[in-house]
Amino acid sequence: MAELDAARAEALFDMVDEELILITGATGFLGMQLVRDLLDQRPNVRLALLVRDRAGLSGEQRVHAFVPEADRARVQAVSGDVSHPGCGLDEATRQRLQAEVTRVIHSAATVRFDHSLEEARRINVEGTRHLLDFAGSVRQLRSFAYVGTAYVAGERADLVREDELAIGQSYRNTYEQTKAEAEALVRSRLTSMPGVILRPSIIVGDSRTGVTSSFKMMYWPLKIYARGLWRTVPGYPDAVLDIVPVDYVARAVALLLFDQAALGSTVHLCAGPQGSATIDQIALRAREYFHGPAPRYVDPRFFFAVMRPLLFMALWGRKRSVLRDGRAYRDYFTMRMQFDTSNAQRFLQPAGLTPPPVLDYLDRLFNYCVASEWGRKPVSAA
């Protein structure tokens, strides 16, 4: 069995012929790490990055901002937008990609919680539909990797299995709802298209260096606590926070894209029951690191129904801003669901890839936050 696992792990890294991989979301936090990993690990791969032009900045300029000059011969920027019919591709580009692309990774999405349902559907659901339509026309498609989210589980409070999607749960925001709708769409197409659905939980910085370009989700409450602006937590100390480092997620996506055994599966890229942590465990580490006061836990229902309206009238300046901005994250201090990772273990352990436990690398994340002044200051590579 060990010999078979070793042979399969080696096969995941080897390729015989050259491939062209189309990637959406390449300019995002995860996307940039994924591009670097594919270029480093797959010498026979070329990448086509579907990127939107922006005012005063072309797609090619955006790509050149993070792709090293030595690798640019293997990377092409493709101007387009998944939210548009045909992904916004011109006819000549579309025909060329249909003939040359062998694999597709769809990681583009809006991750904002405050979008209207209509706007979130335009990007997350219709964008996925447009890319699926394009992938269905690719003549030598070998795999389609859809990067969703574990939080399609919505407001569940139990163990979420990888093969489950809609079981009657409600959703906290339009992000969760539209990602669930997009995943349902992908599932309906995988009956006729080779593909895999990947569900990361909350993605944080690199587990080895702490480096991140995104200071949202877990980072926002850490920052206001570290700066002494707030210590009240409208949540439960035993609420579960499942976070995964970007290096683990990127490498897992790059591996599963090429794993024939994973086709047709849904895989949780999560810390799981063994590796996740409670809010109180993370708060204790933050208290030790930042030398702050003990957090005060308040029942969230009481806080948002009674305390917050009163505080909002009484407070001004930065503390009022904390009350306003923190509303988007309130539900993530109350979660008690866990994510089953059976498929992740089955497909990734043969390649030696497992997510590190949250508490093992938390201080590295804190170190980078302090060194970079929470993203305001560049930090030179060690």
Report the pLDDT value the prediction gives residue 329, as an integer from 0 to 100: 65
The CATH number of residue 69's host domain is 3.40.50.720
Mean pLDDT of 146-163: 96
Residue 260 has pLDDT above 70, yes or no: yes
Judge whether 180 lies within some domain. Answer: yes
Mean pLDDT of 172-191: 96
Provide the residue range defining the domain that includes 188: 2-206+243-272+338-355
* Residue keyed to tokens 């006729």: 192
Q: Report d(CA 202, CA 125) in Å as an integer.
A: 20
Judge whether 15 lies within some domain. Answer: yes
Judge whether 9 lies within some domain. Answer: yes
Residue 85 has pLDDT above 90, yes or no: yes
Residue 139 has pLDDT above 90, yes or no: yes
User: Which residue did the predictor score with more confidence, 77 or 315?
Assistant: 77
Residue 57 has pLDDT above 50, yes or no: yes
Residue 316 has pLDDT above 50, yes or no: yes
Residue 11 has pLDDT above 90, yes or no: no
Structure tokens at 288: 């030790």
User: Which residue did the predictor score with more confidence, 314 or 79?
Assistant: 79
Judge whether 10 lies within some domain. Answer: yes
> How do 159-160 and 338-339 pair as beta strands?
parallel
Report the pLDDT value the prediction gives residue 189, as an integer from 0 to 100: 96
Which range is least confidently modeled, 231-245, 261-275, 310-324, 349-363? 310-324
Report the pLDDT value the prediction gives residue 229, as an integer from 0 to 100: 75
Q: How far is CA 133 from CA 122, 129, 219, 378, in A?
A: 15, 6, 36, 40
Mean pLDDT of 335-349: 96
Report the pLDDT value the prediction gives residue 13, as an integer from 0 to 100: 47
pLDDT band at 15; cut points 50, 70, 90: very low
Which of 165, 83, 194, 89 is CA-nearest to residue 128? Answer: 83
Q: How far is CA 171 from CA 148, 152, 157, 346, in A?
A: 15, 8, 12, 29
Judge whether 316 lies within some domain. Answer: no
The CB density around residue 301, as the number of other CB atoms within 10 Å, is 10
Q: What is the pLDDT of the chain when averaged over all its residues? A: 89
Report the pLDDT value the prediction gives residue 311, as an integer from 0 to 100: 63
Report the pLDDT value the prediction gives residue 1, as an integer from 0 to 100: 45
Number of domains in the chain: 1
Pick the most confident of 37-46, 54-63, 309-318: 37-46
Judge whether 153 lies within some domain. Answer: yes
pLDDT digits (tens, 9 = 90+) for 194-224: 999 999 999 999 999 999 998 887 888 888 7
Report the pLDDT value the prediction gives residue 228, as an integer from 0 to 100: 81
Judge whether 150 lies within some domain. Answer: yes
User: Which residue did the predictor score with more confidence, 188 or 304?
Assistant: 188
Residue 302 has pLDDT above 70, yes or no: no
Residue 95 has pLDDT above 90, yes or no: yes
pLDDT digits (tens, 9 = 90+) for 219-248: 888 887 888 877 778 888 999 999 999 999
Q: H-type helices in the chain, by residue range? A: 2-13, 29-41, 59-64, 91-100, 117-120, 126-136, 174-189, 219-226, 246-256, 272-275, 279-290, 300-302, 308-314, 317-326, 342-348, 358-371
Mean pLDDT of 342-359: 96
Mean pLDDT of 117-132: 97
Judge whether 232 lies within some domain. Answer: no
Report the pLDDT value the prediction gives residue 326, as an integer from 0 to 100: 62
